[in-house]
Chains A and B, each alone.
Chain A
Amino acid sequence: MTLDLSLTRDLLTALLPELMLTGWALVLLVVVAWRHRTGGDLRVAGGIALAAFATTAAVVWWLWWNSAAAQGYAPMIAVDDFRFISDWLFLGTGALTVLLSMRYLEREALLAPEYYVLLLFSVLGMMLMGGGSDLMVVFLGLELMSVSVYVLAGINRKSPKAAEAALKYFLLGAFASAFLLYGIALVYGATGTTNLALIGAQVTSLHLEHGTLLLIGLALLLVGFAFKVAAVPFHMWAPDVYDGAPTPVTGFMATAVKAAAFAALFRVLGQAFATTVAWHQIVSALAVATMVGGNLVALAQRSLKRMLAYSSIAHAGYVLVAVAAGNASGSAAFLFYLVAYTLTTLAAFALLAVKGRGGESDVLIDDLSGLATERPWLAFALAVCMLSLLGFPGTAGFMGKWYILVAAAQSAQWWLAALLVLTSVVSAGYYLPVIMVMYMRPAPSAAAHADVRLGRLAGAAVTLAVVGLLFFGIRPNRLLDLSAAGAESLRTPTAAAVAPPGN
């Protein structure tokens, strides 16, 4: 199916997933305006959110199945496999987050069904980030996502910690957005356009590879994105915000928000700045700092939530290696790793949410002692997550790291490859103690884990994630093929890139 995006009908078809989700979000907004008092209302809102994600995913699948492609003048929204795969990733993460949140919200007495509305809007923002082929669309998507997540981080109004987390996230997030926007303005000044394909064409035709204005703009763009993915040295907000936010929201932030920022970064660098070599070194340096910094500080953490926060910083470093590799296998590894990382981290935070009950008291790693005898399945799931984060063979995390390693080796980035292996070894120093404590220490008292219950929906979500992890760890081929196809669709320039900019 070829879409001519200058026709309204075809444009609406291309935007159908986003329009669908917007419609659902508005419907849900009206519903919760009338029903927002009881736990039952919360469940209704959650059900509607799940239906929204399911139908939107079906529409994305329909476009994908018909191999929709755009033609004609450079569009503002991309119609390619990369967009469809990342849309599925965001929608899936959103749906899993809904499943994890249902019981959690009732347990913590957070009777705010607006939670699900904000979740829908933030996923909508992510879809625009993954699909936007214009810097302005990427920026608006990023803001839609960020503003929704600022509120989600502080949704627990009774908790001073959540308020503090929301404040820090908001101030630093807005600060980072301003950098990103200034970068967009300067790139616009240098090339006269904000369309990614046209920027790429202008850079080649005007020989702007070393133009000052363009390079400053690119650097500011990278700073903005580095803040959003929490790359060292722009990571200071992440541990505090992850610690203070409600645990399902933390899981959502550590996975979907990060994945969306990475998807946008990847598209911007790949389509607009493919011929500008300057960013390779900057991204490599960020990757080195992030891998080393994240892993070393994670070693010192006693609290499970903070440890996972630093671990998610370290994983951003591994993904940056795939971005820095800049070749075809790097792009495929990038998408594969995002899927593996998202499944693992979301499951880990879901398990943490059931343990950390009663007003978000800190869960120390030692608090898990003896979990394996009391709750063998929970302990098993958490152990699988830790092994996958570590990159143990047989899990999706291993395959992801392996592909990134191959990509780095192929582009002769030996330092990055060596550092990735070394820091992964270091990370065993904080992932394995969790497993050791669960399986080798006795529970402090018989009732220590008595109130640890996952609930049916969250249980289903965690089971799905863990089965997925093990499945992709043993049979990664199908997912890798999809990722490679998605990455390839970014590299083949569309017909639009040929059209001259309109100024």
Chain B
Amino acid sequence: MLLGPALAVSAVLFTIGVAGVLIRRNAIVIFMCVELMLNAVNLTFVALAQRLGVSGQIFVFFVMAVAAAEAAVGLAIILAIYRHRETVDLGKINLLKG
């Protein structure tokens, strides 16, 4: 029940996350958009679990644990760059030229 709409919502959420990562320049906002993408995937897993059995719901726990580990490391890295540059604006963080 409601599999189609749930998948559509998660696709929209994922797209919003991708757009945010590509458009925004603030490191914290980009990080939040990545988290939005991961949670969109979680929604997909939960929606699919109705049809495909409980494993989809279990994957969500793995994804949450991974997202938590990423958040811990990511915020530490953002803090480290703030100590050096006093900004988290990617437009102003440009010691390395790609």
B77 and A166 contacting across the interface, CB-CB below 8 Å: yes
Which of A150, A163, A182, A188 is the one whose CB lies under 8 Å from B37? A182
Cα-based distance from A189 to B8 in the complex (angstroms): 13
Tell me the nearest residue of chain A to B48, going by C-beta: A189
Scan B70-84; emit 1 where CB is below 8 A from any A CB, else 0: 100110111011011
How long is the Cα–Cα vector from A189 to B10 in the complex, in angstroms? 13
Contact between A181 and B38 (Cβ–Cβ < 8 Å)?
Answer: yes
Q: Chain A residues near B66 (CB, 8 Å)?
A: 139-140, 143, 177
Chain A residue contacts of B37, Cβ below 8 A? 175, 178-179, 182
Task: With both chains docked as a complex, state the minimum distance between the C-beta of B40 and any C-beta of chain A, in angstroms.
Answer: 7
On whether the beta carbons of B41 and A178 are closer than 8 Å, the reply is: yes
Q: In the complex, A164→B77 CA distance in Å?
A: 9
A160 to chain B, nearest CB (A): 4
Contact B45 A188 (CB under 8 A): yes
Contact A188 B74 (CB under 8 A): no
Q: Which of A18-26, A92-100, A237-245 lies at the interface?
A: A237-245
Contact residues in A for B81 (Cβ distance below 8 Å): 160, 163-164, 166-167
Pick from A177, A182, A236, A244: contact of B95, CB under 8 Å: A244
- Beta-carbon contact of A171 and B69 below 8 Å: no
Q: Which residues of B contact A165 (CB under 8 A)?
A: 96
Q: How far is the CA of A181 from the CA of B7 in the complex (A)?
A: 15
Residues of A within 8 A of B95 (CB): 160-161, 164, 244
**Residue A29 lies at the interface, judged by CB distance under 8 Å to chain B:** no
Is A154 among interface residues, defined by CB-CB distance under 8 A? yes
CB of A349 within 8 Å of the partner chain: no
Choose from B27, B53, B97 the contact partner of A503 (Cβ within 8 Å).
Answer: B53
Whether A181 contacts B34 by the Cβ 8 Å rule is no
Interfacial chain B residues near A168, Cβ < 8 Å: 96
CB pair B98 A175 closer than 8 Å = no
Q: Check if A186 is an interface residue, CB within 8 A of chain B.
A: yes
- Whether, in the assembled complex, A263 has its beta carbon less than 8 Å from a beta carbon of chain B, the answer is no
CB distance from A179 to the nearest CB of B (A): 8
Measured CA separation A160–B63 after assembly (Å): 31
Q: How far is the CA of A237 from the CA of B98 in the complex (A)?
A: 8
Minimum Cβ distance to chain B for residue A502 (Å): 8
Which partner residue on chain B sits nearest A165 by CB separation?
B96
Complex Cα–Cα for A67 and B96 (A): 48
The smallest beta-carbon distance between A359 and chain B, in angstroms, is 13
> Could you tell me which residues of chain A, from 455 to 503, have a CB within 8 Å of some CB in chain B?
502-503
| Residues of the A chain whose Cβ atoms lie less than 8 Å from the Cβ of B78 | 167
**Residue in A closest to B14 when the chains form the complex, CB atoms:** A182
Give the docked Cα–Cα distance between A144 and B53 (Å): 27
Which of the residues B14, B70, B80 comes within 8 Å of A163, measured between beta carbons? Answer: B80
Does B96 lie within 8 Å of A147, measured CB to CB? no
Measured CA separation A168–B45 after assembly (Å)? 28
Task: Report the separation of the CA atoms of residues A240 and B44 in the bound assembly, to the nearest whole angstrom.
Answer: 34
Q: Count contacts on A: residues with CB < 8 A to the other chain.
A: 40
Most chain-B Cβ atoms within 10 A of its Cβ — which of A170, A179, A243, A503? A170
- The verdict on A170 contacting B73 (CB below 8 Å), with A164-B81, A244-B96 known, is yes
Q: Identify which of B27, B41, B80, B97 contacts A185 (C-beta below 8 A).
A: B41
Q: Considering the complex, give the chain A residue whose CB is closest to the CB of B71.
A: A174
Residue contact B34 to A160, C-beta cutoff 8 Å: no
- Complex interface residues of chain A between 92 and 144 (CB less than 8 A to chain B): 136, 139-140, 143
Residues of A within 8 A of B80 (CB): 154, 157, 163, 166-167
Whether, in the assembled complex, A151 has its beta carbon less than 8 Å from a beta carbon of chain B, the answer is yes
| CB interface residues, B 29-85, toward A, < 8 Å | 30-31, 34, 37-38, 40-41, 44-45, 48, 51-53, 55-56, 59, 62-63, 66, 69-70, 73-74, 76-78, 80-81, 83-85
Complex alpha-carbon distance, A161 and B80, angstroms: 11
> How many angstroms from the CA of A168 to the CA of B81 in the assembled complex?
11
Binding site for A on B (CB under 8 A): 7, 14, 17, 21, 27, 30-31, 34, 37-38, 40-41, 44-45, 48, 51-53, 55-56, 59, 62-63, 66, 69-70, 73-74, 76-78, 80-81, 83-85, 93, 95-98
**Cross-chain pairs A/B with CB under 8 angstroms, 28 sampled:** A143-B66, A150-B74, A154-B80, A160-B81, A160-B85, A163-B81, A163-B85, A164-B84, A165-B96, A166-B80, A167-B27, A167-B77, A167-B93, A168-B96, A170-B74, A171-B21, A171-B27, A174-B31, A174-B70, A177-B66, A178-B14, A178-B34, A181-B41, A185-B44, A188-B52, A188-B56, A194-B59, A244-B96
Extra A-B contacts (19), CB below 8 Å, given A167-B78, A174-B74, A189-B7: A136-B59, A139-B66, A147-B73, A150-B73, A154-B80, A163-B81, A164-B96, A166-B77, A167-B77, A167-B80, A167-B81, A167-B93, A171-B21, A174-B70, A177-B70, A182-B37, A182-B44, A188-B48, A239-B98
User: What is A's interface to B at a CB cutoff of 8 Å?
Assistant: 136, 139-140, 143, 147, 150-151, 154, 157, 160-161, 163-168, 170-171, 174-175, 177-179, 181-182, 185-186, 188-189, 192, 194, 236-237, 239-240, 243-244, 502-503
